[in-house]
Amino acid sequence: MKSKIAVYPGTFDPLTNGHIDIVKRSLALFDNVIIAVAVNSKKQSLFSVEERIALIERVLKDEKKLIVTQLEGLTADFCKEKGAVAIIRGLRAVADFDYEYAISILNKKLASEVDTVFFMASGENSFISSSMVKEVARYGKNVNDYVPEEVNIALIEKYKQLQSNKEK
């Protein structure tokens, strides 16, 4: 029997507890989940793709059905290449739906054999975004309630490094 593979694409800059919740819930439905770490040309990333992949692998090291890799190109093409049957997307609020719905329609036209599966964020994660986490961490505040400890430490170190480089 062919395994059911899902792709969870995103920038994950950084990985949040909301992302982890969606990963774990999707692992319960699919045989394998590929976290596809993307470069978003519209965003200035804090962490490199390699750093993001390493952090995700460290945080989710016990998830045996999970693969973490870089996404280059279109998600629909990536899904076809990997034999995926679904694209995983998280929705925090109604405002996310319009954007995600439009993308799902486009992906369906590009890869008709791949469906988009939406997961509603759990209540405690419905307001968490990577952007918000970075903004709070940039000012030296603890973000342990929103990200795993490994990510909190990486954020602290990254902002110290950036501050040190700025002072030079």
**Catalytic residue ranges:** 19, 43, 92, 130
Give the chain's length.
168
Contacts of 37 (CB under 8 A, 6+ apart): 10, 11, 12, 49, 52, 53, 56, 68, 69, 70, 71
Helix ranges (H only) for the chain are 17-27, 49-59, 75-82, 94-110, 130-138, 149-167
Helix axes 130-138, 149-167, angle to 10 degrees: 50
Distance CA 12, CA 10 (A): 6
Instruction: Check whether the bond before 9 is cis (ω within 30° of 0).
Output: no
In the numeric block, which tokens belong to residue 68?
């973490």
